[in-house]
Each structure stands twice: as C-alpha cells, then as structure tokens.
Structure 1
Amino acid sequence: MTKIIDKIHNVNRRNFLARATLAAAAIPFAKDTLAATVSKTVHTEASCPDTESFWGKHQSGIATPIQRSTYFIAFDMVSEKREDLIKLLRLWTDAAAKMSSGPAHFDPKADLNQPSRESGATVGLAASRLTITFGFGPSLFDKKGVDRFGLAKQQPEALVDLPHFAGDQLVPEHTGGDLSVQACADDPQVVEYAVRKLAKLAAGIAEMRWAQMGFTGGYKPSETPRNQMGFKDGTINIDTKDATAMNKFVWVGAEGPSWLRDGSYMVIRPIRISLDHWDDMKTSFQEETVGRQKITGAPIGKAHEFDKLDLTTADKYGNTITAENSHAAMSAPENNDGAEILRRAFSYDNGITKIAERWPPWRQVVTFDAGLLFQCYQRDPRTGFIKLFKKMSQIDMLNQFTTHVGGGLFACPPGVKPGEFIGQGMFG
C-alpha cells in the first residue's frame, strides 16, 4: 500500500511540475496578450495615446485632458545658491521628459550588489499619459524681503500672495512653497513614482513642504468627472481646444515678463468637504445649493448638462429657479463680468481626522479627511480666481459644507524645447 501511495504522489508531483512548467512558459504570452488588451481598451475608451509630449510651446498637464490620478507637491529651497536652483531645474527637466516618454527600465548591466538608480515601481507599466507640470511661488523671488537667487526683478506683478478669504482655515504647513511639481497620469503608481524620483533629485537643494494626492471619477476624458458629493464637477469650463479662449483667459501674454509668456498662473487649494453632513441633506436641497441636477448635471429647469444656465426665470414665489447664491450662479461668467478660469480639479481622501463640527451641537467628531483638490489656471489670478472667489467665499451656499485648508499660487512657465530647462528664461 505504501508503495502505491508513493507512486501516486510521484505521478501527481510530475503532473504538477509539468503543468507549472507550461504555465510559466505561457506567462510572457499571457502578459503580452493582457497588455495588448488593456492598451487597446485604453485607446478605445479614452481615445488618447499612452504618452503626452513633455516638450512644446506650453507645459503639459494644463490643457491636457484630465487624467485619473494626480500627485501635487510643493518644495522649499534649502540652498540659496543660484547655480543650485539652475542645477535642480535642469535635473527635473531631463527626468520629467524621460518619465513622460515611457516606463522605466533596469540597466541589465547594473551591479546587483549596489542600490539601483530605479526603484522598479514602474518597470513594465505604461506611461499612462503622464504629465509633469512645474511652477514657481512668490517666495522664490522674494522671501521676507530677501532676494536669494537674484530673481526679484523677474517676479511678475500678478504673482501675488493670495489674500485671506472669508472662511479660510489655512494650515501653514499645507500652504505656499518656492517650487511646485504636479504629476498627473491614469495610473496612481506612475504619478507616485514620478514625484518620488523628482524629490530624490532635489536632495540637498530643496525639501518637501506639503503634498496632496488626488483622483477623478469617470473613465472618459469627454465626460465631466463626478465628485464625492455626487455631482458632475466642472461643467462650465474653458474649451482647451479653443485657441482664442485659451489666449484670452489662460495663457500669459505680452503683459507678463518675457520668460512667462505662453505660461499660466496656477491656483491650488485643498478643500475639505463635510461629506457626512452633505449626505444627510435632501437631494432637492443639494441641487438648490449646487444649482444643478444631481444625476444629469443639467441646470435647474433644463434637460441636458451643457444647456445654458437659467439665471433669470422666476418661480411662482418670485425667486429665480437657479438660486442666486447657488454655486453655479455664483461662479457663472455672467455674474462675474465675464471672468473665466480653466478648472482642473481632483477629489482627495486622506483617511480620517478629528475635527470640530461647524453646526450644532458643535462637537468633536472623527470623520473623513476628504474633499476637493481645487485647481485652476488663468492669465491673471487677480482677474481670475481672486475676483471670483472673493465673492463666492462670502455667500456661496456651498460654503457651509466646505473649508479651505491650504494651497498656493504658482507661476507656471511655458513649455521647453529639447536642450532647454524649465524656467530657463528667468535667468537671462
């Protein structure tokens, strides 16, 4: 009996090894097939290539169709040497161009007994439409009256410190920065890898100040993303394919310094949303607050998302059907002297936190530290975000659910050509 059992075990082991060998041999083909299938799906659903060119007239990541994931990070310079700043911008430019062009690879000749120059986190992964966008904060030009890098004369007039808005609860550790870097892609691991790579290159020259990851809802760039509040976010937005509108509202023109022309100003603001409180509201009240229908995104009284907002029609009580202080009405160009900004916002979720509620019984609660990573680009923040939000921060119905907890304003220079580095024109 023992011999029979041993024989059976040997046969089963041989069969197992044979099957394992066949499976192992098939893995490369399976991977290729899967990769091809995924790639085909991405191209079909998104109608976008896997790569976005880093080089060009404008920086990528501004007019680029919004991706699924983002990682924003601000840095402070620890070196006060002009040549170190230039060195860092050169390193960042070169690395960003390489990472945007495709996945990382291990050097087959590398010494395995030494640390690798690549973490391996993106080996075999597609570039996933990775874009990396750089910006310069006001403090890079003048920090408490000190011109560390000889750039004070290059500071644009529009690059100002954002004013304090009603309701702001900005955390200093999550506000400002000398330099900004934002990686966006359709794969969260790709953006995380890119930021880590750039942070490592900054060692000894700049240090990380604050960061925020984000994501979008939805799968097609042609569709408006839906946020955590359940509403479509950013229906009224500048058409990035409309060159006239982009030149009018987004790209810096002759009014700016020469090194910034064809660039833009970026405002970014992490906005914590009381999602628990919001979810307890009646849908009708939510729609009145936003000024749009929840499911379709259509304006109140209309049938389709991109129908024109009705800001004048009154109901039987004499009130406009779109509440005057609803979010949609407050941000509408018609109510802001035609001012427009290019919104490029993401949702975020940092887990949980303990905060004091802003409504009765004003207790300490543990809730989700989640909300909107608001981001917008404009030709001049004084006639863009600052003009719009000064009024909105006071009477927008949505304010009872939102708290601005950080952010900053950064000048994003134009794109670069091979052989140049980002912001090169600043240095004369």
Structure 2
Amino acid sequence: MVSRRKLLGLGAAGAAALGTGAVVARSMLDEPPRARAASASDPVPFYGEHQAGIVTPAQDRLHFTAFDVTTDDRAELVELLQEWTAAAARLTQGKEAGSYGAVGGAPEAAPDDTGEALGLPASGLTLTIGFGASLFDERFGLTGRLPAQLAALPKFPGEQLDPAISGGDLCVQSCAHDPQVAVHAVRNLARIGFGRVAVRWSQLGFGRTSSTSREQVTPRNLMGFKDGTNNLKLEDSALLREQLWAAEQDGSPWMAGGAYLVTRKIRMTIETWDRTSLAEQEQIIGRNKGEGAPLGRAAEFDELDFAASGPDGQPRIGEVAHVRLAHPSFHGQARLLRRGYNFVDGSDGLGRLDAGLFFIAYQRDPRRQFVPIQLSLARADVLNEYIRHVSSGLFACPPGVRDAGDYWGRRLFAA
C-alpha cells in the first residue's frame, strides 16, 4: 500500500510542474547536426546505442527527479519501464505522453497527458534514466546484477548530506530548452507510475554550467566564472570510449554502452563570495574571471601551467586552487563528462539565497574517476569555504533503447 508520504511526493511533482508552467525560456544554441536537430525547438532522436541526454549538447533547462519504487512485484516494475519508455519516445518527439493525449479520450476518464505542453515544440527534450544501488535488493531478484561501479560513495570531508534529497531507486533526467517541456515530461512519467513509484526528491535547474560540445560557448556558474572549460565533449570519440561508456569487460554486460551518473547538490554561500575581492576569487579558482584563462595565460583554452611562478616566486596557480586539485594530471588522467545546472530555490529564511550548482557527471567508473577527484577537492580545495554539498546520488544509466521493441533496462531484467 502506498503511504501518505509517498502520495504527497507525487502530488508535489504535479505542483512543481504547475508552478513552473508560466516560465518559458528558449535558448538558441549553435549545436553540431549529428547530435541535435536543426534548432532548439526540434526533437532529439530517442533511439540509439546510447541514451540521449549524456553527450547531447546540453540544453538550457533541467528537471531531475529521483523515485522510490513502491511495488515489490518484478513484473510490475518491468511493465512500468516499458510504459515509461513508450511515453518517453513520444514526449521527446514533441507528442503527448499517451495515444489519446490530453483531450482525445473519453470525457469520463482521466486524460493520457496532463496537457500543459499542448502547442509547444519538442524543445530538444531528452529523457535519461538511471538505476540506484537500492534497486538491486531482494525485491526484484537483482542482487547478483549490482555493478561494482555502484559501490557507495565514501563520506567526503565537510559534506552535509540530507538523506531526504539523496539516493533513490530510479532517476530521470529531463533536459530541454523550455522549462515547461522539461517539467511536463517528468510530471507525466510520475503520473504513469502512480502506485508503482513515488517521487523521492527533485531538482529544477537553469543555465547549463558545462558545454558538452565544442560548438557551445562555455557557460558561467553563479560565482560568475566560466565552468567546464576542459569538460569531455561529444567530439572526443576516443576519450569517450575510454572515460565515459561502460564496456562488456567492466563486469556488468547489461551496462555496456551505458554510463554511471553522480549528482551532487552544491549550495554556494553567495553573499560571502560576493564580498570577496576579485584577486582572491581568481586565486581560489585558478582562472581569471573575465576570459576564463588559466592564471598566467591569455586565453580560456590555453594549457594550464602548474610550474609557472609569479613575480613573487610563488606558483601562479596555487597548490590549493580548484583547477589544480581537479586536473586530470593529478588523478591518473581521470576525466568526467559534466552537464550540471545552476539552481535558485528561494531563501533560507534568513535572507540568504538557497542557490548554487546541481552537479551532474557521467563516467565509466566513479571509483576511479569521481571519487579520487572529489577526495582531493574535499581535503584541500580553498573553495570549500564557500560551498556545501547537501545531496548526493549515484545511478547506473543503461545503454540506449534500440527500437520500439526495446525498453529502458531490458538487458538488466532479461532472464
């Protein structure tokens, strides 16, 4: 039986959709044709080797949602994933969630679609699903298929995680150039899943904080700095095979062609940062604020020179600068594909903005990529004075859906 708390969780998803509905923003991005449609209004292909929404050029808006599975019936879960896949294939092409849509069914029956996206284009919508470690328990007979890469993240120094906004059995990342389209998609998946899943937590995001294609300009985070300059890009085919996509030999054949997702909600102490001098801000990050160039260099994409000294004989890029501690050269060349978003969730009641970065990173193995990088940052990054990690998620995102006869996670549930 679904608890009152779970029912309220689903209701909150609907309320979020209605509350965001009045906001319409479309970001026209110059994106490469093989990874997107001709404009920000057009659909992104749903079927393919990999799920869309990973290397897809990052859209401007996000609605990320984690779900708890409330049924203990394996067949019901598989049926839900099949229904979700069919709805996602329709929604990402600018169609309504069900065949009868918002107004085409019997008047006495609930509609097949909630209707708030009627008349809106596809807006580059992508829907990406992931499975949390908690799904691989005795309920569904999946204990033997838990990937080693889903090992629990360690407790990092200084983090202040809230369990209520962390974890989850399933996650859905909904990205689009129109916030109403992104929220509409999640709302309809929650509606379809009623009685089988319940919303655990969700996060709205705006203004991408990474570029996932070289055709995109580097965006800025809420600290005002360019973010994700050296991010993995969809054009980096060899690096993507090495650093992003899971392979058969990694130990979980059902994940081949998928990737592992880490999310972190990182709240920024905006008011303190805004009173910090420009020179100190640049030393903390290791780049200049205007161009985004590494300190001591001229252009954003210049190589970082960690050996260079300034006039005072000290390293231009300090030992505890953010870019030094996060750089692949200090972590066995480990890299991430980041596609995070800014967020502002009102204030904390004391007049301080509840704002920051919703960090999203895809990789082949979090144990060898995210974990060592984050440990280095958590232990020494001077930026920690201005940020707090308040939520965390780790999910296995399976390969793409090949055709209309396939569904999200089919290989996981195959006998």
| C-alpha spacing 1:44/1:281, structure 2 compared with 1 (3 Å) | closer
| Cα offset, 1:236, TM superposition | 1.1
* Counterpart in the other structure of 2:216: 222
Task: Report the equivalent of 2:8.
Answer: none
* 2:399 is equivalent to residue 414 of structure 1: yes
Alignment partner of 1:95 is 2:90:
no
C-alpha change, 1:108 and 1:407, in structure 2 (3 Å) is closer
Q: Is 1:183 aligned with 2:174?
A: yes
Larger Rg: 1
Moved over 6 A (4+): 43-47
CA spacing shift, 1:301–1:277, aligned 2, 3 Å:
same
Are 1:425 and 2:411 counterparts? yes
Q: Does 1:203 align with 2:203?
A: no
Give yes or no for contact 2:160–2:389 (8 Å, CA) kept in 1.
Answer: yes
The residue type paired with residue 158 of structure 2 is G
Query: How do 1:80-159 residues align onto structure 2 when only pairs under 5 Å count?
Result: 80-104=72-96, 106=101, 109-112=104-107, 114-142=109-137, 147-159=138-150
SS at match of 2:240: helix
CA 1:133–1:310 in structure 2 vs 1: closer, same or farther (change >3 Å)?
A: same
Q: Distance in 1 between matches of 2:95 and 2:71?
A: 31
| Cα offset, 1:116, TM superposition | 2.7
Q: In the alignment, is residue 282 of structure 1 matched against residue 277 of structure 2?
A: yes
Match of 1:391 among 360, 376, 385: 376
SS in 1 for 2:231: coil
Question: Aligned with 1:216: secondary structure?
Answer: strand
Q: CA deviation at 1:239?
A: 2.2
Amino acid at match of 1:391: S
* Residue pair 2:102, 2:114 contacting (<8 A) in 1 also: no
Q: Does 2:394 match 1:402?
A: no
Specify every segment of 5 or more residues in structure 1 that has no aligned partner in the other structure, as ranges. Answer: 1-37, 355-364
2:208/2:339 contact within 8 Å kept: no
SS in 2 for 1:369: strand
Unaligned stretches of 5+ residues in structure 2 = 1-24
Q: Distance in 2 between matches of 1:130 and 1:326?
A: 36
Aligned residues: 376
Output one character per residue of 1:14-34: Cα deviation in whole Å (capped at 9) or x when no partner. xxxxxxxxxxxxxxxxxxxxx
Instruction: Encode CA deviations 1:28-79: one digit per residue, 9 max, x unaligned.
Output: xxxxxxxxxx99x947688752111111000000000000000110011111
2:313 maps to 1:322: no
Q: State whether residues 103 and 122 of structure 1, in contact with CA within 8 Å, keep that contact through their aligned partners in structure 2.
A: no
Query: What are the equivalent positions in structure 2 for 1:191-270 lying under 5 Å apart?
Result: 191-216=182-207, 222-253=216-247, 254-270=249-265
Q: Are the counterparts in 1 of residues 125 and 182 from structure 2 also a CA contact under 8 Å?
A: yes
TM-score, normalised on structure 2? 0.87
* Letter of the structure 2 residue corresponding to residue 192 of structure 1: V
Deviates more, 1:154-163 or 1:217-226: 217-226
User: Post-superposition shift, 1:163?
Assistant: 1.0
How far the C-alpha of 1:103 sits from its partner, in A, is 4.0
Amino acid at match of 1:289: I
Taking the aligned partners of 1:260 and 1:226, their CA distance within structure 2 comes to 33
Aligned mate of 2:353, from 368, 374, 391 = 368
Query: Are the counterparts in 2 of residues 46 and 219 from structure 1 also a CA contact under 8 Å?
Result: no
Secondary structure of the corresponding residue to residue 328 of structure 1 = helix
- Matched with 1:76 is 68
Whether the 8 Å CA contact 2:66–2:200 is kept in 1: the answer is yes
Question: Given the alignment of the two structures, is residue 174 of structure 1 paired with residue 165 of structure 2, yes or no?
Answer: yes
Percent identity, aligned pairs only, is 41
Question: What aligned pairs does 1:287-298 form with structure 2 within 5 A after superposition?
Answer: 287-298=282-293
**1:343-388 Cα deviation digits (max 9, x unpaired):** 111111111114xxxxxxxxxx431111000010110000010011
In the alignment, is the contact (CA less than 8 A) between 2:209 and 2:221 conserved in 1? no
Instruction: Report deviation, 1:218.
Output: 8.9
The corresponding residue for 1:4 is none
State how far apart, in whole Å, the 1-side matches of 2:57 and 2:170 are: 24
Are the equivalent residues in 2 in contact too, given 1:298–1:307 (CA < 8 A)? Answer: yes
Give a deviation string over 1:208-245, Cα, whole Å, max 9, x none. 10111101169996101111110111111112212110
| Structure with the larger helix share | 1
SS at match of 2:115: coil
Does the 8 Å CA contact 1:75/1:207 hold for their aligned counterparts? yes
The letter for the 1-side match of 2:75 is E
For residue 276 of structure 2, give the secondary structure of its aligned residue in structure 1. coil
**For 1:420 and 1:190, how far apart are their aligned partners in 2?**
24
Q: Is the 8 A contact 2:266 2:388 kept in 1?
A: yes
SS in 1 for 2:348: strand
